[in-house]
Amino acid sequence: MFETEATPESRIAGAAALLAEIRRGRRAPIPGLPEALRPTTIAEAEAMQVATYAALGWRIAGWKVGRTQGQPIAAPLPAELLSPVTEAPLRLPRGTAMELEVALRLRQGLDRAALAALQPADLPAIADLVLLFEFVETRFTPDHPAGDLEKLADCVSNGSCVFGPDTGAWTWPDAEALEMRLAVDDITVAHHAGPHRAVPLAELLAGWRDRCLALGHLPRAGEVITLGSQTGMLPVPAAGGLLLGEMKGRGSLACRVAPLGS
């Protein structure tokens, strides 16, 4: 069904249809995209992201920024799976991983002129610095060493995200040199102190701006831009538990996870 003639258009449509079916739970994870559907460029992988969201009827409400093959990238996060933290336990699939991240949450929307003129130095004036847990779910089987472009087509394995409140006025040095700790049921499982793992961050935010402009996507107030994990990607315990992320001097984010798969 998903094998088609290997043109860019067919690769994009076929890969998006397949990835959407897995996200809907209608198909099990796969050992990689079929050869005829594998993206051959970053642009094709990014087009697969957008086509997958269109197939699912999802609205973009945030972005993961990072680098693929040394190039800044921005992968969309869906409104359906991005929310403020609550006291209710999160229910996550078996095999979910977790990442503690620093993110920016826009206080205002941007029209096209404002977006085109935006510089990374402008963001502290229009965005809050928040802590965020990303829960990672790949559409590929665990034994598949997905290539960079496959991962990008799959939105860099995004699952759901929860974020905390504003941590106060900030400057770029606050985000670029930090100390963070991740604990599960009061046991420290990861710690990072020093430069942000993705510095220089300015080029990632410029890449996000340019991606939005190319898509014609105008960011809304409340959209989140997450800057990548500082504590690595770790498995969520099968029994669940209380996750606590701390950023020294700027507060913490706690969320409870129910036993996975419950």
DSSP-derived secondary structure for 116-135: HH--GGGHHHHEEEEEEEEE
What range defines the domain where residue 124 resides?
59-257
In a domain, 15, yes or no: no
Q: What average pLDDT score do residues 196-221 get?
A: 96
- List the end-to-end C-alpha distance of the chain, in Å, as a whole number: 32
Q: How far is CA 229 from the centre of its chain?
A: 10
Tens-place pLDDT, residues 65-109? 999 999 999 999 999 999 999 999 999 999 999 999 999 999 999
Contact residues for 149 (Cβ-Cβ < 8 A; gap 6+)? 38, 39, 40, 41, 42, 44, 45, 68
In the chain, the number of structural domains is 1
Q: Are strands 241-247 and 251-257 parallel, antiparallel or unpaired?
A: antiparallel
Task: For tokens 């559409």, name the residue.
Answer: 139
Q: Could you tell me if residue 107 is inside a domain?
A: yes
CATH label of the domain that carries residue 209: 3.90.850.10
Residue-wise pLDDT for 135-171, tens only, equals 999 999 988 778 899 999 999 999 999 999 999 999 9
Report CA dihedral (57, 62, 65, 71) to the nearest 10 degrees.
Answer: 40
Domain assignment present for residue 194? The answer is yes
* Peptide bond before residue 235 is cis, with ω within 30 degrees of 0: no
Q: For residue 148, what are the contacts with CB-CB under 8 A and spacing of at least 6? A: 68, 69
